[in-house]
Structure formats: C-alpha cells, structure tokens
Structure 1
C-alpha cells in the first residue's frame, strides 16, 4: 500500500500529517509515529518542573489529531530504531492495524524528530535505573520529581541565558523567593539573537527577582565534579570565578535528533551543527552546496544552458526527493528553533508532497523563514516578546501559561478540567 510516514508527532509532524490526511488521494496510508503517547508541549515544561498542579496540561493526547480518521490514517506509539531510503524499523509491530512486522515501507516521509533538551528537561535522558516509556503518567511523575529536587535546593545555578535559562531562573525565583539563584551566561547580552532592547528589559526583571546575573563568563566543565565541605557543587568559570551551588541546571542549548539520518547517510547531516541538510523545498539533501547558489551552479554545468533552477532545486539536487526534514532537526535557513516555525515548515513539506503525489506541472514551494519572533516569561505573570521587530512587555501571564489553548492544535477543544487529564 502506498504510504506516507511522519516521524515525530509534535508541532510540525502533526500539522503536516493533518494536511495530507484531508487532501491525499484514495489508496494512500498515513502513519504518524512518535515515541511519546502524548504530544509534549515543551514550552511549559520549565514552568511545570518548578510549579506544581499543572503537570497534566503539558501532555496532549493524539486521538483527535485526525478528525473522523479512517483505518488507513493511524497514530502509532513506537520508537523509530532505524531509517533507510525505503523503510523504517519500529520498536514494535501493530498487527491490529495490519502492520505485522516492525519494518514499514514508505513512499514519502517527513522527518520531524526535533531535538532533545538539556538534561534538566530531557525526559528521555534523566531516568536512573528506570525505563521511560513515553507515557503521560511517567512524564507527570518526572515533573513532580523535578519539583521536589528544585524545592529542596537552597541555591540554584542556571547556566545559559537563552530563553530556557531565563524562564527557569525567573520561575524558580518567583515560586521560591528565598532561594539564592544565579544565572551564568557566556555572552554579554541575553537573547543576543534578538533586538537590542530585549536585553535590558530581561536583565532588569532578573535583578528585580533577586537573581544574580553573571555575564560574559563561560563555565569550565572540567570543574563540575568538585564539592565543598557543605556538600555544595563548586564550579569555576574560565576566568577563575568559583560558584558554590546546591543544584546546577545546564540550559546551554538543544541537540538535534538526527542520528537516524546520519546512520542512513552521513552526508545528510552537517557535521558541525548536527542539523539535517535541506533544500528550500525542505527535501532532505546530501550535498553541501548552498541551495541559494544552486541556480548559478546548475546553469554552469548544464550542457545547453537550459537548466530549470526551480525544478533542479526541488528534485535533481538530492538523492532523497521523497524525504523531507522540518523543525528543530532541520537546518532551515536560519529559522528559529521554535514550535511555530516547525508548524509552518510542516505545511510547506506537506503541500510539496501533495504536488509530487499528484504529479502537478508546477514547481515545488520554497521555504523562507519569517522574522525572528519569541515570547519569554519572566516570572509567573510578566513576559517580554518580540514580534516583527517590535518589543513589548505584558503583565497578564497565568500560572499554566495558557497550556490548554495549545490542545486545539491537536483537535481538542477543552471545555473542562477533566479533559486535561486524558
């Protein structure tokens, strides 16, 4: 049976699958595959690992992603073990759905496995002597254990002044105002990728919460295993400054989940960044050529000078025209690693698959990132944002960061608290 698979069912993967499910011709099967039983709304995880009472809102069931789904449109809870150009191997079979073996062949694939967060928020990497199965119950248990660890620490060192570090530090300070909180950042400006005005607003908010902010100093990781007589971890910056703390939270960036692509074809992954190489069509590429220079390059190598740059960028310059990569795993031309960008990339990839399936005589859609946009909480009620180059501050935040509103993207209109425990 002709099959389109979606590896990863978070923001981008689910959106892409939704589009294909409504427009794909008859005779096709759609498989949305994820190792988690519920979508993890990662934006709220820092808050919910500090503040109790809202954990269940972060994990959204997949049962309504496809409204009125048919037998040939499935959500599979399984881990992808390996990937080839023609098939995937899963951690389990699904005989109840006619999938008798763990190997599943496909015609088109969207790789949306994202990235994994640093240890403080990596649900799959911080269980000691216990297996994590990706279920909502286990994830809630994990958050509650994190809450206890943070509550017990009298002092906390947050390393990294990106959005994650800022949100972690301000949430801890707001929920536990008596704690000594230190934020260490290697650059001289917080959120340096964004407009200049973001830094002073964030810095003022951090300091007003009693957080000590150390800028322009980098942690010496070789010092991380030293302890003082009080049992505190003592770390040292490269400049020689010693910092004693009960708990250290490393918030120094995300790591792309591209090992499966690298095992399939190492040339599809950039060795320095770990990101999947893609063309502007978001098709997986195994060439290092900058897609922006392809038209000129192709014109030079064409014997008759008649190369069609649009078509060549779309299909010729990749060995994998049927595989697309989106979201945090993809090197998407400077796009911010964020859920809203994965969502829009999923739409582009899905529309391009439909064009290929329908064999339309038109070029594939090219992806261009929008302007950088971000919203960062600065404690339980205050937040700062940048949209279209405009910086703003608001003070009407809520404890759960409006997590239930995101459930609508997965087909669930929340009408009561009980639904959030599903």
Structure 2
C-alpha cells in the first residue's frame, strides 16, 4: 500500500523537493517549467519543487521576432526580457543560472554547469532533466549577445548600418528567415532598397511544402516591395572602402554572372546545429538531434535513468518543421508528464503520459503587412492571417500570454 499523499509530500519538503533541471530558457524550457509548477500548485498539499533553469542568455528572447528586432530599435527593447523581470517566474522554487550545461551524468543524475561570467564550474544534482537548448543559430539569424545590454548595442549597430544605406541591402537566403528579414526591414525602413537573393528557383525550397505555398511566398515578398532574385547563388562579396569618406560598400557577384553593389550583405542562409554537446552520444542522431519517445523521454536503452530525462523543442529528432508553437507544445507535455511521474511516486498510480503525435509540415510566415499560413486546413494568406498568427509584434504578445509569463 502506498503512503498517504500528505505523508509523501512531507518527505518531499522544501528542504527535500523534487529537483528539476532545465537546460534552456526559451519557448520549450519555459513552457515545461510553468506547466510543471502550476500542476504541482493545484493540490491542497502542494508538491515541493526546486526548478533550475540554465541559459546562456540573461533573459527570454523572442527568437521569431528577430527580423523585426534587427530592424526596429523600439521593438528590440521589447523582444528581450530579463528573467528577473518575468512575473510568473518570480517564486522561491524557480532559480536561474546564467551559464550553460557542459555535460550530464544520467546515472548519478548530476549535471556540470559553467556559470558566467567566468565559466565557474559546479555540479548540480537533479531528479528530472529537460534538454531545451534548441538550435545554435548564427548572426544575423539571431543576436549572439548573451546579456540584454550587449544585445541592444548589437541590434542598434545593425539597425544604424542598414538605415544609413545608400545602396541596396542584400539579404542572402530565401528561407523563412530571409523572407521575414527582408520584408520586415522594408516595412520598418521603407526608404531602404532591399534585395533578397535565393539560389533556387523557388523560395522556401528547403521546406516540404507544396509549390503553391512557395509561389504565394514569392508574391507576398514582392508585394512588400522587396526585389527578389531567384536562381542567384552568391559567389563573392568584396568590401570596398571609399577613399574620401571611409564608407564601405560591397561588390557582389553571383555564380550566374550577375553583379551588383550592396551597402550591406545579410547572410540569412546557414545550417543551424542542435545545441546538444552536453548530451550522451548514445542519445543523439548523427546530426546531433536527440532521440525521444512520444512521451518526450529519452528513447535510448543504453543509458541509465533514461525515463527521468526529457528533451523538447528544436533539438529533438521528430517530424515536422521546427516551430515556436511545436516547442511550446512539447514543453507543456514534458512538464505535465513529469508531474504524472511524481504523482505515481506519491499515489502509486500508473501515470497517464501525454504523447506527441507525428507532426505534418506546417508553417506561419510573416511577410510585411501580410502573412501566410499552411497546415491541415490548407493555405491562407493576407492581412487577417497576419493578425491571427502574429498581430503587430511578430507574435510577442501571443507567446507571452500563451506561456502566462505576465501572471
């Protein structure tokens, strides 16, 4: 017979809580933490927790807002909120560590953490671990700064450079990031000439989407007054300094022989890499993604305590296009599933675990004043779609409220 609920909770007191370590404090990591502690708060006898969130940044950065954050200084201020300024997380059972997880030992349930600013190394014990560090993306897809103050300086320099452009700004790469970056730049800085160059015959060529979606993306991009060059693979970009005033422009040449002069060249084409170097090699694919069960627990039978370890967000090996919505959904499931496992220990009941379904291709794309969506209901586009999916701030308010960050 299992011990009464209150007796087990007494054993798990504030002095001996369930320790949950989350690597990554963006969409998936925050969703996991919030859903877990809100589930544990709902009982007459609250389940004691100690949640530690480790992140290289000192705050939550709205990654999908990057195209606007790197075009508008006022929006850049909004897109990064320090963890200490997020109301729902200001509670004694949630701690933040500005740093990174360098490795985990699943057998002893111990993580090695490197704390900033000096990369001081320390060990952290846990009962449950959640990997939510996402993909490592390069500049200017996302800012590389790790503090809000440095980020504002980084974004400000970039915005000043493109605002003062005398020749066209060239965005290279016609994936979702490149399209949104070019369109937001033109929307916020209408006097700047913006050219988007893509190496293939259709935009979004790397995504498993129907041709009508890719064609619509082109139409909306051109409607946003962005000059689109298809079948233009960048060959070289050579900086040239004006001897009189010291300004720099770029002599650009494409492999098809086309040449142009650009005031700035923004590379929006890069292969993002999963940030999973701290994970045991047995849990990873050849590309570095984490293999998980539908419950988001590690699927490897080669490491101990695999079912106490979860992975969520862009770093998991799963179907579908990497999206903010999917990351938050997976984080929620991980938090709820840890709660179910805790209840099993307390009440002796078999846990009812949420399971992730196979995810078909879907996308939401902001293109200036319009947006394009594709999913189970087919394709939709226009200003109303922009309002539904992104509103006027590339989804910041939607995400903030969905995660209940202001509570």
Tell me how far apart the structure 2 counterparts of residues 79 and 215 of structure 1 sit (CA, whole Å).
40
CA RMSD of aligned residues (A): 3.1
Given the two structures, how large is their TM-score scaled by the length of structure 1? 0.75
Change (3 A) 1:118 1:101: closer
State the 1:278 CA deviation.
2.1
2:335 paired residue number: 350
Q: Distance in 1 between matches of 2:89 and 2:147?
A: 24
How much does 1:9 deviate?
1.4
> Is contact 2:198–2:229 with CA below 8 Å preserved after alignment?
yes
Q: Aligned to 2:277, which of 260, 264, 271?
A: 260
Give the Å deviation of 1:39: 0.7
User: What pairs with 1:21-420 in structure 2 (closer than 5 Å)?
Assistant: 21-24=37-40, 26-63=47-84, 67=88, 70-85=91-106, 86-92=109-115, 102-124=122-144, 132=145, 134-153=146-165, 154-192=167-205, 193-220=208-235, 223-224=236-237, 226-227=238-239, 232-253=249-270, 255-261=272-278, 264-271=279-286, 273-286=287-300, 316=301, 319=304, 320-332=306-318, 334-359=319-344, 360-362=349-351, 364-379=353-368, 381-395=369-383, 400-401=393-394, 403-413=396-406
- 1:245–1:29 CA distance, 2 compared to 1 (3 A): same
For each residue in 1:246-279, what CA deviation from the matched residue of structure 2 results, as whole angstroms up to 9, or x when unmatched?
2111112452342433xx42233322x3322222
Q: CA deviation at 1:11?
A: 0.9
Aligned-partner Cα distance in 2 for 1:159–1:324: 36
Larger deviation: 58-67 or 136-145?
58-67
Residue aligned with 2:74, SS: coil
The secondary structure found in structure 2 opposite 1:102 is strand
Secondary structure of the residue that 2:307 maps to in structure 1? Answer: strand
Alpha-carbon distance in 2 for matches of 1:91, 1:5: 14
Q: Deviations over 1:164-190 (max 9, x none)?
A: 101111122233344442212233222
The alpha-carbon deviation at position 105 of structure 1 amounts to 1.0
Task: List gaps (5 residues or longer) in structure 1.
Answer: 94-99, 125-131, 287-315, 415-422
Tell me if 1:4 matches 2:20: yes
Question: Distance in 2 between the 1:357 and 1:232 partners?
Answer: 60
Bigger drift between 239-248 and 226-235 goes to 226-235
Using a 3 Å threshold, how does the CA distance of structure 1 residues 251 and 68 change in structure 2: closer, same or farther? Answer: closer
Q: CA deviation at 1:145?
A: 1.5
| TM-score normalised by the chain length of structure 2 | 0.78
Q: Against the structure 1 CA distance between its residues 410 and 140, is the aligned structure 2 distance closer, same or farther, given a 3 Å change threshold?
A: farther
CA contact (8 A) 1:385 1:392 kept: yes
Change (3 A) 1:23 1:377: closer
Shift of 1:71: 2.9
How far is the alpha carbon of 1:46 from its aligned partner? 0.9
Deviation for aligned residue 1:323? 1.5
CA 1:408 to 1:76, structure 2 compared with 1: closer, same or farther past 3 Å?
Answer: farther
Q: Distance in 1 between matches of 2:355 and 2:383?
A: 38
Residue 321 of structure 1 aligns to a residue in which SS?
Answer: helix
Distance 1:163 1:21, change over 3 A: same
Distance 2:303 2:293 in 1: 8
Specify every segment of 5 or more residues in structure 2 that has no aligned partner in the other structure, as ranges.
Answer: 1-15, 41-45, 243-247
